[in-house]
Homo-oligomer: A and B are copies of this chain.
């Protein structure tokens, strides 16, 4: 059984997406929603705050909650989307090739990135992502073995995230991302179909589990034309 406020959030969000609730109109007031869903006001407000945080509505004191038009269904890179979900949502042919797979000790950089001791072990994986037959993304993952005991090449060629969440029952909670543009390395030129491009978009990802432990560092190197990031930023 789900939370009440989650159910209300999902219900309203779906109605907005499906245009049952029109853009630029007002939602029922919080007091009306209390009666509609038979819950307390704070519960209504939790649902509305979620809607606002996710760009569905804008709450305006004294006026009401206005439904925004934001075509959010765009290209959901924001958040923690896996390559597999992403390619699927674009409706493109995609393929993942594991180019390197090893259990090893961290070098100085990784000790720093993942807060490790020299004696700790990490899974190091390099994967090449193809979209429509072109090699356009190079993913380098480094996973702390203290959290993921077993891993195989097989799993990596499918989806590491699916394995972690579905099979191991761990929950990924948050990630810190850093996006920069660099010159391609020798390796990028070698492994990707860079054609005429002389830059590469580097997305560094520090991924945490829901017990706050940092368990993975990923560096995702995109051909520039295969990169798009959408962000919805709300002032606090």
- Residues of chain A touching chain B, judged by Cβ–Cβ distance below 8 Å, are 42, 50, 53-55, 58, 60, 63, 66, 68, 70, 78-80, 171-182, 197-199, 201, 208, 210-212, 224-225, 227-236
Q: Which listed residue, B58, B174, B179, B232, touches A234 by the CB 8 Å rule?
A: B174
- Nearest Cβ on chain B to A3's Cβ, whole angstroms: 12
Instruction: Please provide the 6 A-B residue pairs with the shortest distance between their CB atoms, ordered closest to farther.
Output: A181-B224, A58-B212, A179-B229, A177-B231, A174-B234, A199-B199
Q: Across the interface, which residues of B come within 8 angstroms of A210, CB to CB?
A: 58, 60
Q: Across the interface, which residues of B come within 8 angstroms of A42, CB to CB?
A: 42
- Nearest Cβ on chain B to A221's Cβ, whole angstroms: 13
Q: How many copies does the complex hold?
A: 2
- Chain B, residue nearest A50 (CB): B236
Interface pair A68/B234, CB less than 8 Å apart: no
Q: Across the interface, which residues of B come within 8 angstroms of A174, CB to CB?
A: 55, 58, 232-235
